[in-house]
Structure 1
Amino acid sequence: MAVLKTQYLRISKDKFHYLKFILEGYDNLAILSSFDNNGVVVLRYPDGLSRELFELLESIAVDIGPGF
């Protein structure tokens, strides 16, 4: 069984489903869960896919960011 790393992120509350949809397009890249109602989410991902995941997140950061 693969060990999953955990990353907490804050995104715009209304972008949860958008991010989930994007991640579903990349089989086995990450599991997205809601952590609280303030836009904090949890990503669980295999260590070997860290680079791919963070490159993807960087490319969509403007779209999913909390917009402080």
Structure 2
Amino acid sequence: MPKASTKRYYRIDRREVHFLKFILEGYSGVAVMRTLDPQNGFVVLYVSPGCEKEVDMILSDLKGQIRIEKAELLEREGL
């Protein structure tokens, strides 16, 4: 039975939502991003099983270019 994807919630610079989505799409099958609140930059990443470290590396590299922070409150609320 395949594992389920992992949800990760982030707040990013709202002007960079499309940029992050574009970057993630370049890594086919690693993660899918959904925008929860475009005005405030809240997004959720559905990370494919086994791709967690790769997503961590991608986001770590991007932190030098755009604001990316974990949205702990959204994660606890399970949106």
Unaligned runs of 5+ in 2: 69-79
1:40 is aligned to: 42
Which amino acid in the other structure matches residue 53 of structure 1? V
TM-score of the aligned structures, taking structure 1 as reference length? 0.88
The structure carrying a bigger helix percent of its residues is 1
Determine whether 1:63 maps to 2:65. yes
Structure with the greater alpha carbon radius of gyration = 2
Unaligned runs of 5+ in 1: none
Number of equivalent positions: 66
In the alignment, the residues of structure 1 paired with residue 11 and residue 64 of structure 2 have an alpha-carbon distance, to the nearest angstrom, of 12
Q: Render the CA deviation track for 1:8-49: whole Å, top value 9, x for unaligned.
A: 011000000100110111010100011112011100012310
Q: Percent identity?
A: 35
In the alignment, the residues of structure 2 paired with residue 2 and residue 31 of structure 1 have an alpha-carbon distance, to the nearest angstrom, of 15
Residue pair 1:19, 1:64 contacting (<8 A) in 2 also: no
Deviating beyond 4 angstroms after TM superposition, the runs of 4 or more aligned structure 1 residues are none
2:52 is aligned to: 50
